Amino acid sequence: MAHNIGSALPLVDDPRDVRPVAESGRPARILALDGLRLFAALAVVAYHYMAFGGGWPGDVKAMFPRVFPFAAYGWLGVQLFFLISGFVICMSCWGKPLRDFFVSRVVRLYPAYWFGVIVTTLVVTLVAGGEKPLALVEVLTNLTMLQEPLGIPHVDGVYWTLFAELRFYLLFAIVAWKGLTYNRLVVFCCVWATASFFFADQDDSALQLLVMPDDSWYFIAGIAFYLMYRFRPNLMLTGIVLMCFFACLPFAHTTWKNTGKYIGHVVPFWPVIPIVAACFGVMALLATGKLSWIKWRWLPTAGALTYPLYLLHENIGREIFHVLGPRVPAYALVGGVIAGMLVFSWLVHRFVERPVGRWLKRGLVHAMSQHPRSGPDAMSAGERRAEAPAEREAVAEQKQ
C-alpha cells in the first residue's frame, strides 16, 4: 500500500516517507492539543479584556500597564486556532465518509454556538449602557452562522472566525468526498496555496471570499502537520509548512496594523514574527511526537472548555466590566471574570453542548439514513464500516 501511494504521484523523495506510522505507536488522543486550544483561547480572552478594551471606565493600557504589552498580541491565538483546526479536521475525518464529516462538523459547531448567540443577546439587551443589541431579525440570521456573507453584524465580534472555519470545511469536503489519502491532501494543499497567491489581491470577489488568502496558510500548514504526524515528515511537507509560514506574514502585518486602531495604541510589529514562528514550532513538535509525554489528566477538560469560552467571553465580559469596572479593582475583576467564564464554559459544555450535540447527531444520522444514496455518493462497504466509529464516538461522549 505504501508503494502504491508513493508511485501514484511522486510527491515525496522516497515512498517509504509515506508509510503510516504504526497505529499502536500513536495515542488515541493528543492531550497536548487540548492544552494548546485552551492556551489559544486564553490568549484571545486576554487580548479582548486587557488590550482591546471595551466596557472599562478608562484606558486599558493605563489600567494594565504590565500585562498590556503581552495581551496586545493575544489576537494571534486565532492563528494558532486555525493551525490546530487544519490538524484536527484531518485527524477526526480520516477514514470516514463525507456524510460523517458533515454531521461531525454540524454537531461540533452549532449547539454551543446557538447557546452563545442567545445568551449574549440576552445579556447585551438586559444590561443598559453597554453593548448595543442587534435587531431580532439580525439575531436570527446569526443563528445560521452565515451572517457575514449576508452583510449582517455579528452578535459577538469573535464569530467572524467561525465563518472562516465554515469556508475551510467547505473546501475540505471536496477531498473528504473522495476519501482522505496522503496524495489527495498534498495536492489539495498545493492547489489551495496556489489559489491563495492568485486571489490575494482580488478584493471583494466571491472566489477571494472562498479561498480566504489571508487565513488559508494556517489551515494548509495544519493539514501538512497532520500528514507529518500520520506519515512522518518529509521534504514536501516541510516545504509546504515553510511556504505557509513565510506567506502568512504579510497578512499578519496587515492584521497588526488594524489592531493598532482597535486598541488605540501602537505596539511594535517585530514580536508578531517570533510568536507566529512559535505557533508553527509547537505544531511541529506535536506533529513529530515530541509532545507525547504530556499526559496530564485535566487537559481533556481544558480542551472541552475552549469553544464555549471563546464564544461567550467577549461581549458578556464587556458588560460585566461596564457595570462593575468603576467599583472593583481592575486586576481582581478581570481575574474573577476569567475564572467565572471558565466555570460557565464547563457548564455549557456539560449541560448544553454534549446533550444537544447527541440529540442533533441522532437526528441528522436518522434523516440521512432515510434516503439511500446512489451514484458517486453511494456508500461502499468500507464507508458503511466507517460509520461504526461515529456511533462509538457518541457512546464515548456519554462517558466523558
Q: pLDDT tens for residues 58-105?
A: 899 999 999 999 999 999 999 999 999 999 999 999 999 999 999 999
368 pLDDT exceeds 90? no
284 pLDDT exceeds 90? yes
Q: What local confidence, expressed as pLDDT, does residue 321 receive?
A: 95
393 pLDDT exceeds 70? no
Has residue 322 been placed in a domain? yes
Q: What local confidence, expressed as pLDDT, does residue 207 receive?
A: 86
The structural domain count of the chain equals 1
Q: What is the mean pLDDT of the chain?
A: 87
Mean pLDDT of 286-312: 94
Q: Is the pTM of this model over 0.85?
A: yes
167 pLDDT exceeds 90? yes
27 pLDDT exceeds 90? no
CB contact at 8 A, 230 and 20: yes
Has residue 285 been placed in a domain? yes
**Phi–psi pair at 298, nearest 5 degrees:** -80, -10
9 pLDDT exceeds 80? no
Local confidence band at 309 (pLDDT 50, 70, 90 cut-offs): very high
Local confidence band at 208 (pLDDT 50, 70, 90 cut-offs): confident
Mean pLDDT of 163-171: 96
221 pLDDT exceeds 70? yes
Has residue 10 been placed in a domain? no
Has residue 278 been placed in a domain? yes
Has residue 17 been placed in a domain? no
What is the percent of the chain with per-residue pLDDT over 90, rounded to a whole number?
Answer: 76
Has residue 1 been placed in a domain? no
Domain ranges, residue 39: 22-399
Has residue 95 been placed in a domain? yes
Q: What local confidence, expressed as pLDDT, does residue 7 receive?
A: 31
Burial 70-95 (b: 16+ CB within 10 A, else e): bbbbbbbbbbbbbbbbbbbbbbebbe
Residue among 352, 320, 323 at smallest CA distance from 336 = 320
Q: What local confidence, expressed as pLDDT, does residue 376 receive?
A: 39
Has residue 333 been placed in a domain? yes
Separation between Cα atoms, residue 119 and residue 121, nearest integer Å = 5
Q: What local confidence, expressed as pLDDT, does residue 205 receive?
A: 77
135 pLDDT exceeds 90? yes
Q: What local confidence, expressed as pLDDT, does residue 225 receive?
A: 98
Q: What local confidence, expressed as pLDDT, does residue 200 receive?
A: 84
Q: What local confidence, expressed as pLDDT, does residue 24 receive?
A: 42
Q: What local confidence, expressed as pLDDT, does residue 313 receive?
A: 97
CB contact at 8 A, 188 and 109: no
Mean pLDDT of 99-114: 94
> Which whole-number Å values give the CA distances from 9 to 51, 156, 233, in the listed order?
49, 45, 17
Q: What local confidence, expressed as pLDDT, does residue 5 receive?
A: 35
